[in-house]
């Protein structure tokens, strides 16, 4: 009989990193995975068995785009309540902190949270302390280039490699003095990520930087490096990834994906449109990473949690194993943590998520009040971080009427949308 602290038995184990997919058991001892049994050859003490019958057991989920700097930035949420309690063992903050504010993210959030927190460092030294759409006020974090210091950014990254996994930039007119500094900010972010040897995550919305290649001008995603991450991939505003005339994924975007650029959902409160998602997925343009962009304006809808965003992609026809890979092995690879995250392997920390797929008949909204019917949804039913089990909170009460109303009010501002404006009547 195998001596373990506990064993999760009888579930469908799915680990895209290793190719495992079948009924089996995972044994945990001293906070680490001690046994993976796929052929029922191992006996466990029944008193230490957690039944996973009817559930899917996967590596601890990674949400690659959240805003975790609670109380210090307007967007910040409590990641233990909104991530770990919803089945996510690792959250990656997407630029809430810059070089001058990063020590606080480490001391007051990472060190005090049960959720593992990693981070993309904002190219602006003050991060998202209070700028542009993060505070509901005019102005952006990169309005003045004095705050965009490549040297300080690189120094902070290289001094905090245990926690910082990349550089973040918002390539958007609203963050760059109405576009005046935008191309130079993008250039500096590319330089900082290259010099520090980490990926760049780019938020590219309503931008003066074009999607299509143009001679003598930086473009996005064409000038991103292989391994960089293009977030908000299914965003419906100006700078979306579609060829507007053909209503198809732009050829330069396809080329970027083939070069090794990761495309990330980054759902948030304004960056996911059902119409864009349907156009992309009908072409087979699936996201490499599914993430929430959870913050105070998206956590109660329309993003809710990672399982809900996974549900949306599953409803669009994304294969189950690809959905799971996009929250485990794929984000782990993107942040260069495949050696320790995103896979169930003997000797690794026991970060484990357990899900069920539940039959349902519900409406789910995008960020603009557009509704689609969902027949199956992911529900987190268990989560272990470093071998310790944490409680899972009830699934969100969706759809949220207030979220839908807010989305409908913003519908007219979108560039790609349904033919008819949604309504609550």
Q: Are residues 171 and 314 in the same domain?
A: yes
* Cβ-based burial of 13 (10 A; exposed 0-12, middle 13-18, buried ≥19): buried
Whether residue 136 is predicted with pLDDT greater than 60 in this model: the reply is: no
| pLDDT 10s digits, 292-320 | 999 999 999 999 999 999 999 999 999 99
More confident residue, 74 or 310: 310
- Note whether residue 292 is domain-resident: yes
Q: Which tokens hold the place of 8?
A: 């999760």
Look at strands 49-51 and 6-15 and give their pairing.
Answer: parallel
pLDDT computed for residue 131 by the predictor = 57
Please list, in sequence order, all residues whose beta carbon lies within 8 angstroms of the beta carbon of residue 339, skipping any fewer than 6 positions away: none
Binning pLDDT at 50, 70 and 90, where does residue 129 land? confident
- Judged by DSSP in three states, 334 sits in helix
Q: Are residues 22 and 145 in the same domain?
A: no
Q: Please report, for the domain that includes residue 377, its CATH number.
A: 2.30.40.10
Mean pLDDT of 109-136: 87
- Note whether residue 69 is domain-resident: yes
What is the pLDDT of the chain when averaged over all its residues? 95
How many distinct structural domains can be found in the chain? 2
- Note whether residue 256 is domain-resident: yes
Show the domain range for 31.
6-58+350-396
Q: Are residues 282 and 253 in the same domain?
A: yes
| pLDDT 10s digits, 240-293 | 999 988 889 999 999 999 999 999 999 999 999 999 999 999 999 999 999 999
Distances (CA, A) of 262 to 44, 201, 298, 308, 315: 41, 9, 23, 21, 21
Q: Are residues 186 and 160 in the same domain?
A: yes
Q: Is the pTM of this model over 0.95?
A: yes
Q: Are residues 236 and 380 in the same domain?
A: no
Please list, in sequence order, all residues whose beta carbon lies within 8 angstroms of the beta carbon of residue 214, skipping any fewer than 6 positions away: none
Pick from 54-58, 172-176, 363-367: least confident: 172-176
Binning pLDDT at 50, 70 and 90, where does residue 396 land? confident
- Note whether residue 213 is domain-resident: yes
Where do we find the tokens 């935008």? 182
Evaluate whether 335 touches 236 at the Cβ level (below 8 Å). no
More confident residue, 186 or 397: 186
Whether residue 137 is predicted with pLDDT greater than 70 in this model: the reply is: no
Q: Are residues 70 and 186 in the same domain?
A: yes
pLDDT computed for residue 134 by the predictor = 52
Percentage of residues in the chain with pLDDT exceeding 90? Answer: 92
Binning pLDDT at 50, 70 and 90, where does residue 362 land? very high
Mean pLDDT of 402-424: 94
pLDDT computed for residue 357 by the predictor = 98
Pick from 130-144, 187-201, 203-217: least confident: 130-144
Please list, in sequence order, all residues whose beta carbon lies within 8 angstroms of the beta carbon of residue 299, skipping any fewer than 6 positions away: 77, 82, 305
Percentage of residues in the chain with pLDDT exceeding 70? Answer: 98
Q: Are residues 208 and 299 in the same domain?
A: yes
Binning pLDDT at 50, 70 and 90, where does residue 133 land? low
Q: How far apart are CA 249 and CA 403, in angstroms?
A: 28
- Note whether residue 118 is domain-resident: yes
- Note whether residue 411 is domain-resident: no
Q: Which of 99, 95, 287, 106 is nearest to 201 (CA)?
A: 95
Q: Which of 197, 195, 187, 280 is nearest to 232 (CA)?
A: 280
Whether residue 378 is predicted with pLDDT greater than 70 in this model: the reply is: yes
Q: Are residues 21 and 146 in the same domain?
A: no
Q: How far apart are CA 416 and CA 419, in angstroms?
A: 9
pLDDT computed for residue 176 by the predictor = 93
Q: Please report, for the domain that includes residue 213, its CATH number.
A: 3.20.20.140
- Note whether residue 420 is domain-resident: no
* Cβ-based burial of 2 (10 A; exposed 0-12, middle 13-18, buried ≥19): middle
Mean pLDDT of 162-170: 98
DSSP letters spanning 265-332: ---TTTS--HHHHHHHHHTT---SB----B-TTTTTTTS--HHHHHHHHHHTT--HHHHHHTTTHHHH
Q: Is the peptide bond before 253 cis (omega within 30 degrees of 0)?
A: no
Q: Are residues 276 and 247 in the same domain?
A: yes
| pLDDT 10s digits, 174-200 | 899 999 999 999 999 999 999 999 999
- Note whether residue 416 is domain-resident: no
Q: Are residues 214 and 322 in the same domain?
A: yes
Q: Are residues 49 and 74 in the same domain?
A: no
Q: Are residues 303 and 286 in the same domain?
A: yes
């Amino acid at each position: 009989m195998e001596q373990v602290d506990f064993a999760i038995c009888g579930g469908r184990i799915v680990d895209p990193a290793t190719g495992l997919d079948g009924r089996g058991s995972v044994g945990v001892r001293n906070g680490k995975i001690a046994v993976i049994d796929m052929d029922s050859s191992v006996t466990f003490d029944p008193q230490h068995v957690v039944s996973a019958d009817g559930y899917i057991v996967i590596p601890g989920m990674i949400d690659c785009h959240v805003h975790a700097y609670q109380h210090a930035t307007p967007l910040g949420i409590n990641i233990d309540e909104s991530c770990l309690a919803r089945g996510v063992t690792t959250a990656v903050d997407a630029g809430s902190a810059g070089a001058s504010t990063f020590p606080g993210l480490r001391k007051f959030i990472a060190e005090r949270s049960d959720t593992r927190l990693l981070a993309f460092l904002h190219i602006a030294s003050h991060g998202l302390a209070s700028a542009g759409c993060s505070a509901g006020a005019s102005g952006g974090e990169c309005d003045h280039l004095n705050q965009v210091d490549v040297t300080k950014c690189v120094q902070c990254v290289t001094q905090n490699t245990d926690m910082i996994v990349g550089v973040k930039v918002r390539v958007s007119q609203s963050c760059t003095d109405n576009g005046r500094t935008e191309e130079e900010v993008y250039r500096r972010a590319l330089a900082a990520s290259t010099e520090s040897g980490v990926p760049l995550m780019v938020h590219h919305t309503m931008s003066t930087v074009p999607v299509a290649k143009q001679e003598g001008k930086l473009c996005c995603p064409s000038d991103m490096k292989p391994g960089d991450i293009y977030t908000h991939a299914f965003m419906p505003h100006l700078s979306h990834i579609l060829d507007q005339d053909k209503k198809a994924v732009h050829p330069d975007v396809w080329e970027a994906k083939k070069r090794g650029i990761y495309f990330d959902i980054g759902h948030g409160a304004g960056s996911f449109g059902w119409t864009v998602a349907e156009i992309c997925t009908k072409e087979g343009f699936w996201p490499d990473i599914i993430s929430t962009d959870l913050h105070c304006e998206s956590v109660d809808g329309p993003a809710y949690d990672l399982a809900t965003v996974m549900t949306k992609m599953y409803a669009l026809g994304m294969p189950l194993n690809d959905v799971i890979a996009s929250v485990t092995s794929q984000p782990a690879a993107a942040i260069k943590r495949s050696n320790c995250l995103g896979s169930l392997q003997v000797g690794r920390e026991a970060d484990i998520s357990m899900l069920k797929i539940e039959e349902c008949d519900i409406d789910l909204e995008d960020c603009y009040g557009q509704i689609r019917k969902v027949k199956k949804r992911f529900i987190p039913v268990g989560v272990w971080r470093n071998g310790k089990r944490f409680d899972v909170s009830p699934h969100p009460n969706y759809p949220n009427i207030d979220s839908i109303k807010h989305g409908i009010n913003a519908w007219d501002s979108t560039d790609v949308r349904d033919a008819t404006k949604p309504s609550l009547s």
